[in-house]
């Protein structure tokens, strides 16, 4: 793996310097013409990158699938636009999770195999490593929610890696919705565990001088509200960045010298994206569990 990285780096450096040298030579030979040509070339690549990124990452009312463009029914209720490309992909991800979970659940055997076995590995991991250390007694009751959360985010992350696929978790609105669900769960479990007053008391940390209390309350509320915000941005930015990198690298194919390394890098980044998809789903879940755990059992 390391050797592969070094070779890739060398190819890039050599290829890049060759391109620069060529352009320099072109500039020296016929400055005016070359400059014009270069600018046009750069603009072409830049436009292509923007176009590719927009196509891949920006939400819209059109879905492209197997070369066909599907126009989504615009559902506009007042100022709220409901069904968009990312929303459809988000539904597809959840539908896949539903199918997988139901298919695994239909297995009626004491010794699980295949899909059921794979899911049980995930279930036991989430339950024992993520939920129980944070939620203690409530872990088993909240397990289904966290399983749905994890699998839906994971599937959605992965769908972006398919041809024509789109990562709905690369949309700020989707991640914001999920983070708001986390916020709701945090408040709900906090109130359920400690009562409304007990929950509100968490914003007044003990052992703080009275004159400092107003400031601390503001700080605590800010930190409480920043958590879902951070969740939103973390998942969104990771998914966006991964796909942006792949798109940019693939767009570099137009330069013959970069064609081979750009495909190699794209493959590498795609593999990395699979890992990132798993890690980000895990992080979203464990942070939600930690936040809910903090609301239920205040950190004194």
Partner 1 sequence: MGFQQVLSIEPGSVLWTIATFLVVAWLIGKFGWKPILSGLKAREDSIRRDLETARAERERSSQLLAEYEAAMANAKKEAAEIIQKAQESAGRVLETARTESKDLSLKMIERAKSEIERDSESARIELKRHVADLTVRAASRLLQRAVDPKEHERLILDALKEDR
Residue numbers at the binding site for partner 1 (CB under 8 A): 50, 53-54, 57-60, 76-77, 79-84, 86-87, 90-91, 94-95, 97-98, 100-102, 104-107, 110, 112, 116, 119-120, 123-124, 143-145, 147-149, 151-152, 171-174, 176-178, 180-181, 240
Name which of 15 and 282 has its Cβ closer to partner 1: 282
Parallel, antiparallel, or unpaired: how do β-strands 62-65 and 76-77 relate?
unpaired
Q: How many CB atoms lie within 10 A of CB 177?
A: 14
Q: Whole-angstrom Cα distance, residue 236 to residue 147?
A: 20
* 135 contacts 195 by C-beta, under 8 angstroms: no
Q: Say how many C-beta atoms besides its own lie within 10 A of residue 251's C-beta.
A: 21
- In the chain, how many H helices and how many E strands? 9, 4
Q: Which CB sits closer to partner 1, 247 or 286? A: 247
Residue number with CB closer to partner 1 (122 or 216): 122
Q: Which residue lies nearer to partner 1 by CB, 99 or 267?
A: 99
Least gap, CB of 65 to partner 1 (angstroms): 19
CB nearer to partner 1: pick between 70 and 271: 70
> Which stretches within 160-258 are classed as H helix?
172-201, 213-251
Which is nearer to partner 1, 134 or 151 (by Cβ)? 151
Q: Measured from the CB of residue 99, what is the shortest distance to partner 1 in angstroms?
A: 9
Q: Give the strand pairing for 80-81 and 76-77.
A: antiparallel
CB of 255 to partner 1, least distance (A): 22
Q: How far is the CB of 272 from partner 1 (least distance, A)?
A: 21
Alpha-carbon distance of 174 to 168, in angstroms, equals 7
Say if CB 165 and CB 278 are below 8 A apart: no
CB of 274 to partner 1, least distance (A): 22
Round to whole Å and give the CA distance between 27 and 157.
44
The SS3 call for residue 81 is: strand
Closest separation in Å from C-beta 150 to partner 1: 11
């Amino acid at each position: 793996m390391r050797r592969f990285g070094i070779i890739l780096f060398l190819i890039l450096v050599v290829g890049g310097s060759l391109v620069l040298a060529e352009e320099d030579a072109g500039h020296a030979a016929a400055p005016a013409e070359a400059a014009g040509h270069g600018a046009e070339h750069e603009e072409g690549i830049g436009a292509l990158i923007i176009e590719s990124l927009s196509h891949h990452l920006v939400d819209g009312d059109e879905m492209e699938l197997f070369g066909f463009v599907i126009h989504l029914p615009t559902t506009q209720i007042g100022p709220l636009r409901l069904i968009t490309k990312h929303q459809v992909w988000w539904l597809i991800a959840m539908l896949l999770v539903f199918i997988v979970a139901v298919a695994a659940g239909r297995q009626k055997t004491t010794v699980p195999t295949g899909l059921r076995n794979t899911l049980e590995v995930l279930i036991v991991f989430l339950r024992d490593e993520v939920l129980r250390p944070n939620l203690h007694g409530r872990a088993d009751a909240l397990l289904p929610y966290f399983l749905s959360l994890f699998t839906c985010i994971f599937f959605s992350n992965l769908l972006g890696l398919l041809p024509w696929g789109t990562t709905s978790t690369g949309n700020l609105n989707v991640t914001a919705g999920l983070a708001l669900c986390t916020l709701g769960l945090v408040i709900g479990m906090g109130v359920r565990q400690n009562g409304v007053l007990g929950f509100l008391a968490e914003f007044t940390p003990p052992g703080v001088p009275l004159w400092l209390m107003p400031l601390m309350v503001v700080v605590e509320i800010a930190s409480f509200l920043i958590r879902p915000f951070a969740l939103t941005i973390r998942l969104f930015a990771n998914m966006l960045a991964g796909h942006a990198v792949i798109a940019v690298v693939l767009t570099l194919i137009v330069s013959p010298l970069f064609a081979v390394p750009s495909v190699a890098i794209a493959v590498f980044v795609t593999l990395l994206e699979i890992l990132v998809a798993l890690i980000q789903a895990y992080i979203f879940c464990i942070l939600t569990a930690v936040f809910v755990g903090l609301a239920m059992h205040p950190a004194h």
